[in-house]
Chains A and B, each alone.
Chain A
């Protein structure tokens, strides 16, 4: 990597009432998480942070990165040195730089969540409203492909055909299966400006997906949506849909729930 393409950064990581700051130079493709890991390996006293998968799948590494709730494992130095919104839905603006020209990057814990230490939070509010038995598998689009072959091994666990429906409390689609797109990262919950009691965008997205996938559960899901902390408090700010790293568009799911509830009342 030639020196000219290196990006100078100052990482300011929230630690209680103050920030711990670190200067570094990095290749543009490195992520914020890579940089924290590098600092920690170099024995710097880096405030605590959450991470697990390093590829945008576990949903643990959310932080408010220079004003915008984002995943640290998918936000690169290149992203941070280019124009970027400072709040959900805000205009993209040039990054703040210090007198030496280094890009100033602030890392703060996600809002609405209690802090363990540093920028590590307890994501309880994300999970509290998601029905505990909402299925996480969904049908994968077969796009005209042949059905998958039967599975002689799976017969031993009651899954002889790929996708044999119910298994205990859990549910699988018939045919090709994949996980829901939502990685339960809570960026939407952190970005949501609603201050009334509200189960939140991630939970409502899960409620609507469950309704769509399992008609037998539709009434129970609609009851959750119709409760006072269901769709009602949503002010249609759409901050959720703007920050979602997985294009779940929770705002769209909330609207779909509203439409079904309104139809039911007519």
Chain B
């Protein structure tokens, strides 16, 4: 039981800015290593990109051809999450589908790349894949099984928040960081404003972790930093039918509209990608909807005949500066230490994927530990997390 997990307190105060999955996992990891954690989120927890993502628990297969290391990390993290937050994951596996000859020709190199990345992909006859999921287009040329799954974009990170709070972290939703005090070349305090309050408050701390995703540029600017993050919004469309239990993907190079993820009674097709200046207020472009539905029909004919449930957008926090549509930017995550930019005691943790939140947090927490010479190993793989329900049931009325 999680109740028995304990940490050795070290009294070092870390303020985390951003309450998405990344901030949740950092709060948990640092709390387990004994830090005194305060997390600020300007809205409800996970109201940035995290709650709105596609919900695919990535086996890494999608990334294997392009980057074995990212793929391997996804596979390992997907397994860790299945063990520590089992209730927030609909694990049913996935199928990569080659619809045309070009995609079919990719199958051998795709499978080889997966195997090299530790992902047990295997080709199965199309008839067998269609016996699992008859929604797969009968014209499919080849089909490959992979260990993909779906997860609840909101509930999974909430379990991390519940765990962090159980270990003593202070998690403050509806509290925005509006200023960062830097003096003597070091971050000293965060100025925060809680919704509804008439005044701001000053939160002194020994270290600041900006886990603000696509907002990392704006949060960095509070400390006078130029953080190279480009918001890249993508659109998703949910229809009212569970067309499959397995995640269905196109056996093409990663592109737009090539994944269908089931979730409860819905199926979600995504995504598109653009580059934006501001991650706030992402109203989907109407032509994205028609495009995505047409792409979904190629994978699962008839998809678009279901009623549309919702259309929405979320912003990827892509590392780097945009040059074109953003596809050239790295998909990996980064921990940016700002001491070289004249602000010691602050790091930005951004990029990555929701599936690797725990690994991202481990890297950032390692960074904080080395800053303070704390010799505590990461233990976030070890424990099954409390239920997300605990978060609200005990949030105090």
Contacts and interface: CB of A to CB of B under 8 A. Distances in A.
A51 interface: yes
B131 A146 contact: yes
B310 A154 contact: no
B280 interface: yes
B154 A60 contact: yes
B87 A52 contact: no
B278 A56 contact: no
Contact of A145 (B47, B133, B147, B384): B133
Nearest to B238: A55
B281 A130 contact: no
B29 interface: no
Interface stretch (B215-223, B261-269, B341-349, B360-368): B261-269
Contacts of A133: 387
A38 B75 contact: no
Give the interface centre of B46, B50, B51, B79 by most chain A CB atoms within 10 Å.
B51
Contacts of A162: 91-93
Interface string B282-293: 110010000000
Interface residues of A, number: 71
A176 B394 CA distance: 32
A132 B263 contact: no
A148 B92 contact: yes
Contacts of A52: 44-47, 50-52, 153-154
Interface residues of B, number: 73
Given A178-B262, A179-B263, A179-B264, A140 B393 contact: no
A19 to B, nearest CB: 15
Contact of B153 (A58, A118, A246): A58
A65 to B, nearest CB: 16
Nearest to A176: B245
A262 interface: no
Nearest to A143: B134
Interface string B43-59: 11111001110000001
B132 A146 contact: yes
A21 interface: no
Contacts of B312: 53-55, 73
Contacts of A167: 83, 86
B393 A127 contact: yes
Contact of B86 (A16, A152, A168): A168
Contacts of A120: 44, 174, 195
A145 B131 contact: yes
A176 B195 CA distance: 43
A169 B268 CA distance: 30
B393 A132 contact: yes
B120 A132 contact: no
Contact of A157 (B83, B132, B154, B236): B83
A179 B90 contact: yes
Contacts of A34: 283
Given A41-B278, A116-B196, A140-B242, A153 B59 contact: yes
Interface of B: 1, 43-47, 50-52, 59, 75, 78-79, 82-83, 86-88, 90-93, 119-120, 124, 128, 131-134, 145, 147, 152-155, 173-174, 194-196, 236, 238, 242, 245-246, 262-266, 268, 278, 280-283, 286, 309-312, 314, 384, 387, 389-390, 392-397
Interface of A: 1, 16, 29-31, 34, 37-38, 40-42, 48, 50-60, 73-74, 114, 116-118, 120, 122-128, 130, 132-133, 135-137, 140, 145-146, 148-149, 151-154, 156-159, 162, 167-170, 172, 176-181, 183-184, 246
Closest 9 pairs (CB-CB, A-B) = A52-B51, A41-B281, A117-B196, A54-B312, A55-B310, A58-B154, A146-B131, A127-B393, A48-B195
